[in-house]
Amino acid sequence: MSKIGQRQINIPEGVRVEKDTKLIKVTGPKGELTLAMSSRIKLEQSDNTIQVTRSGNDKKAKAFHGLYRKLIANMIEGVSQGFTKKLDFKGVGFKAEVQGNKLILNVGFSHSVEHLTPDGIEIKVEKNVISVSGINRQKVGQVAAEIRSIKPVEPYKGKGIKYIDEIPRRKPGKAAKAAIGGAK
C-alpha cells in the first residue's frame, strides 16, 4: 500500500474543493486550479479532510494512488499559500530585469537573453536574486529550471545561475593542478 497515498489531506479555511467524476477543482484566495482525475482513483471528502483511495490493486492504480494524493495536496497548498523558487546569479556584469511579461538577462553572452513569463507565474528581481512564484508547483519549477538552464554555474569560477540552496561543484583551476602535480 502506498504510504503517501494513505495520508489524509487537510483542507485549510478559505479553500473549496469540488469534485466531479472526471475533474477536481480547487479554489482558494490565490486562485483556482483543476485536475483531470483517473478512473482508478476515488476521493472521499469529509468536513476539512480528503482521503484518496484506489479502485483496485493493479499496477497502474498503485502508481496513481500516491501521485494523485500529492497532486491534490499541492493544488490545495498552491491556492492557499503559493509556491516560490529563488535563483541566484553571480558574475561580472551579470544583470537581470523584468519588463512586462519578459525577464531580460545579461549573463555574459554577446546579446541579452529574453525569457517569456507564462500566465500564472510572477517573476521578481532583487539585487542578484530572481524569485519565481505562482500557484501551480509544476509551472513554478519548470520556469525556474528554464531560467537556470540559460547559464548554468560553471565549475571553475562559479559564475552563472543557480538555485539559492544549490551547492555547485567546484574544480581547481590550471594553477592549482600544476601546484599539485609539480609537488611530486
Question: Do residues 43 and 24 lie in contact, with contact meaning Cβ atoms separated by under 8 Å?
Answer: yes
Question: Do residues 71 and 35 lie in contact, with contact meaning Cβ atoms separated by under 8 Å?
Answer: yes
CATH 3.90.930.12, applies to 3-80:
yes
CATH 3.90.930.12, applies to 83-163:
yes
The label of the residue with cell 544583470 reads 95
Closest CA to 87 of 125, 61, 52, 30: 125
Residue ranges per domain, the chain? 3-80, 83-163
* Confidence band for 60, pLDDT divided at 50, 70 and 90: confident
Per-residue model confidence (pLDDT) at position 178: 77
Per-residue model confidence (pLDDT) at position 117: 95
Per-residue model confidence (pLDDT) at position 183: 54
Q: Write down the pTM of the prediction.
A: 0.87
Q: Give the DSSP H/E element, type plus range, for residue 23.
A: strand 23-28
Per-residue model confidence (pLDDT) at position 166: 92
Residue 181 predicted with pLDDT over 70: no
DSSP code per residue over 44-81: EEETTEEEEEES--SHHHHHHHHHHHHHHHHHHHHHHT
Question: For 150-171, what is each residue's pLDDT tens digit?
Answer: 999 999 999 999 999 999 999 8
Per-residue model confidence (pLDDT) at position 4: 83
Question: For 81-137, what is each residue's pLDDT tens digit?
Answer: 999 999 999 999 999 999 999 999 999 999 999 999 999 999 999 999 999 999 999
Instruction: Tell me if domain 3-80 and domain 83-163 are identical in fold.
Output: yes
Task: Give the strand pairing for 95-99 and 49-54.
Answer: unpaired
CA 55 to CA 58: how far, in whole Å?
9
Question: For 30-54, what is each residue's pLDDT tens digit?
Answer: 999 999 998 888 889 988 999 999 8
Per-residue model confidence (pLDDT) at position 174: 81
